[in-house]
Amino acid sequence: MPHTTDALLSPLTELSEDEQLLRQSVRDFALAEVRPLAREMDEHAKMSAPLVEKLFGLGVMGVEIPEKFGGAGGTFFHSVLVVEELSRVDPSVGVMVDVQNTLVINAILRWGNDEIKARLLPRLAAKAIGAYGLSEAGSGSDAFALQTRAAAKGDDFVINGRKLWITNANEADIFIVFANINPDAGYRGITAFIVERGTPGFTIGKKEDKLGIRASSTCELIFEDCNVSKSSILGDVGKGYKVAIETLNEGRIGIGAQMLGLAQGALDHAISYTKERKQFGKAIAEFQGVQFQLARMATDVEASRLLVYNAARLRDAGKPFLHEAAMCKLFASEVAERNASMAINLFGGNGFVKDYPVEKLYRDAKIGQIYEGTSNLQLQTIAKHLLT
């Protein structure tokens, strides 16, 4: 088991007994079940189906789903701990679980009516993977410039359009899809729909060949006269922008947790390797220059953890957390890239080859500054808070 810096935990990052047990169980699972598969899944750009079944068995695919629906009945903070520990070993697995919990399940818990909850939550807890269909070719940072349309047709809506960069799309059975039913109303026409795999007129398109988090599928969604019933609307007609904004604010904490886990994983590997690698007759960890680099990495990880945990605790307490979420995603994603880069430096030539794990973490880290709101958008959110 790699070295851990948990001894550095501050009062804000201290965990209750149940949180400690959850973290340890997920950490043990990640080391035993995820780590042996990480390289193969990365090379083949495919998530292991047996591993996904085990994740459901562990209960981490439905952390906040109430027990009456077959879920774990946990908190948002529990989801953050799960994502952090999985991402410490493989951020691809971490983001799959993150989207399931912090985006899809959270949106259904908050905006779904009783029928939608009763129909979907037991499936999401047991075996169904969810995906979140917001982004389009011309609608990335400008999330509400949607071109996907939904037109009323009797008791149904007909959806036409395309979505891009949709995480979990290759494996998902349940999709939250955003379409505009009244373009003249701008963002006030956006409505969220539940669309299930196999619905006529809905197909999964191209799977992207990515730099990092390769085992996590990222695909195009294609809607061609796709009929969905009015009962599939999540929330109210024309209120999809609220579903998107409020869910993504929480999702940014999840990405902060993913990047925190990645940064911790890079530090773990760096500490272990520098104790083993010898130069000039002694382990390189004995050189002060190396010690200082490790110290900076550890300090950045702890600062990231404080930001991520604080945002998650605020969310669970029902307090405002918008700029805290932006801060934790911004900082943790930058730390992840720095720590992964430094780990490669400390590994030397071995850090640049795929036989060692840190080059993968370096590739995986880059996406943290891009998806679920770019770093510039996070800076904009933080600045707006400061100046109002």
User: How far is residue 1's CA from residue 227's CA, in Å, rounded to a whole number?
Assistant: 51
User: pLDDT confidence of 141, banded at 50, 70, 90?
Assistant: confident
The confidence score (pLDDT) of residue 9 equals 52
Instruction: Respond yes or no: is residue 115 known to be catalytic.
Output: no
Confidence (pLDDT) at 252: 98
Reported confidence tier of residue 6, pLDDT bands at 50, 70, 90:
low
User: What integer is the mean pLDDT of 3-31?
Assistant: 80
Q: Grade residue 1 by pLDDT with cuts at 50, 70 and 90.
A: very low
Place of tokens 């998902």: 172
Kindly indicate the confidence band of residue 7, based on its pLDDT and cuts at 50, 70 and 90: very low
Tokens of 257: 């947790």
Q: Is the pLDDT of residue 12 over 70?
A: no
As a whole number of angstroms, the distance between CA 278 and CA 341 comes to 20
Give me the pLDDT at residue 14, please.
85
Q: Which residue has the tokens 């908050």?
A: 110
Q: What does the pLDDT read at residue 182?
A: 96
> Does the pLDDT at position 5 exceed 90?
no
Domain locations in the chain as residue ranges: 6-129, 131-239, 242-387
The pLDDT mean for the chain works out to 96
| Averaged pLDDT for residues 187-197 | 97
Given a cut of 70, is residue 3 above it in pLDDT? Answer: no
The residue-averaged pLDDT of 177-185 equals 96
Q: State the angle between helix axes of 76-89 and 288-316 in degrees (0 to 180), rounded to the nearest 10.
A: 150
CATH of domain 242-387: 1.20.140.10
Q: How confident is the model at residue 385 (pLDDT cuts 50, 70, 90)?
A: very high
Quick one: pLDDT band at residue 142, thresholds 50, 70, 90?
A: confident
Q: What are the tens digits of pLDDT across the range 243-298?
A: 999 999 999 999 999 999 999 999 999 999 999 999 999 999 999 999 999 999 99
Confidence of residue 171 (pLDDT cuts 50, 70, 90): very high
Q: Which amino acid is at 268?
A: D
Q: What is the pLDDT of residues 37-51, one digit of tens each?
A: 999 999 999 999 999
Taking the C-alpha atoms of residue 9 and residue 314, their distance in angstroms, rounded to an integer, is 18
Mean pLDDT, to the nearest integer, of 53-69? 98
How do strand 278-279 and strand 282-283 relate by DSSP bridges?
antiparallel
Q: Which of 64, 85, 136, 372 is catalytic?
A: 372
Q: How confident is the model at residue 314 (pLDDT cuts 50, 70, 90)?
A: very high
- Domain 6-129, CATH class in plain words: mainly alpha
**CB-based contact 76:87 (threshold 8 Å):** no
pTM, full prediction: 0.96
Question: Options 2.60.40.1220, 3.30.2290.10, 2.40.110.10, 3.40.50.720; which CATH number does 131-239 get?
Answer: 2.40.110.10
What value does the mean pLDDT take over residues 216-245? 97
